[in-house]
Amino acid sequence: MENAATPLADIRDRIARTAQIAGRKAQDITLIAISKTHPAAAIAPLIAQGQRVFGENRVQEAQEKWPALLARARAEHGEIALHLVGQLQSNKADDAVALFDCIHSLDRPSLVTALARAMDKAGRQVPCFVQVNIGAEEQKGGCAIADLPALLAAARAADIPLAGLMCVPPAAIEPAPFFAFLDKLAADNGLAGRSMGMSGDFETAIMLGATHVRVGSALFGARGA
């Protein structure tokens, strides 16, 4: 009965209810628990409750926190997947490929080159979402919408496995049109995955095709709390 009151159980229930309304299957939607800034002690309870996919924003923070946690969790609970959801510098490509199971921030040709080289060196293919600057915001990372076809072609030519598209809509604006647009872009380019939706809007994202939702504060509380 205690588990029924946990934030994780609540988020899972909301995902399932929203998927049902949308005529989708809950198991087709991956919940990524965004554990950035939170210590291993805060992550372990979610692993114990059955959460198996986590996301980090920074390579360095993940390197400091996750190797020991992953080894212990995988020994006790089986497979745990770690996703990089923040911006990636090209000089960190080797480290990212070594540690992460999926990268959500492929957004420029130089990173295609760096990741392809890193994957070849490591002998490890890491699926990547191409991040789209869906709101054309200068301060945000992401590929410009007009540049998306060329970037996808470059990634495919480099044999980078493409998981889909990712976006972060502009803050304080209704996100639905941006989610709908990303869904259309993914469909138009033959991509199955849509990484979109966070704590405040993941239900809207699921209604509009999200396959991966990135939930942090609703699971862990406010950053630093």
Domain membership of residue 78 (yes or no) is yes
pLDDT exceeds 60 at position 116: yes
Range of the domain at 17: 2-220
Identity of the amino acid at 126: V
Per-residue pLDDT band at 225 (split at 50, 70, 90): very low
pLDDT exceeds 50 at position 1: no
pLDDT at 5: 80
Per-residue pLDDT band at 223 (split at 50, 70, 90): low
Domain membership of residue 98 (yes or no) is yes
Per-residue pLDDT band at 210 (split at 50, 70, 90): very high
Per the structure, how many domains does the chain have?
1
In 10 A of CB 81, how many CB atoms? 14
Domain membership of residue 67 (yes or no) is yes
Instruction: Kindly write down the DSSP assignment for every residue of the chain, as one continuous string.
Output: -GGGGSHHHHHHHHHHHHHHHTT--GGGSEEEEE-TT--HHHHHHHHHTT--EEEES-HHHHHHHHHHHHHHHHHHHS--EEEE-S---GGGHHHHHHH-SEEEEE-SHHHHHHHHHHHHHHT----EEEEB-TT--TTS-SB-GGGHHHHHHHHHHTTPPEEEEE--PPTTS--HHHHHHHHHHHHHTT--EEE---TTTHHHHHHTT-SEEEE-HHHH-STT-
Domain membership of residue 202 (yes or no) is yes
Domain membership of residue 225 (yes or no) is no
Sequence-ordered list of residues with C-beta below 8 angstroms from that of 171, at least 6 positions apart, any chain = none
The mean predicted confidence, pLDDT, of the chain is 94
Give the residues across from 217 on adjacent strands: none
Residues 131-164 have pLDDT tens digits of: 999 999 888 889 999 999 999 999 999 999 999 9
pLDDT at 4: 54
Sequence-ordered list of residues with C-beta below 8 angstroms from that of 25, at least 6 positions apart, any chain = 19
Domain membership of residue 70 (yes or no) is yes
pLDDT at 221: 82
pLDDT at 2: 43
Domain membership of residue 49 (yes or no) is yes
- How do beta strands 162-166 and 102-106 pair? unpaired
Per-residue pLDDT band at 218 (split at 50, 70, 90): very high
Domain membership of residue 41 (yes or no) is yes
pLDDT exceeds 90 at position 125: yes
Q: Which domain CATH number covers 59?
A: 3.20.20.10
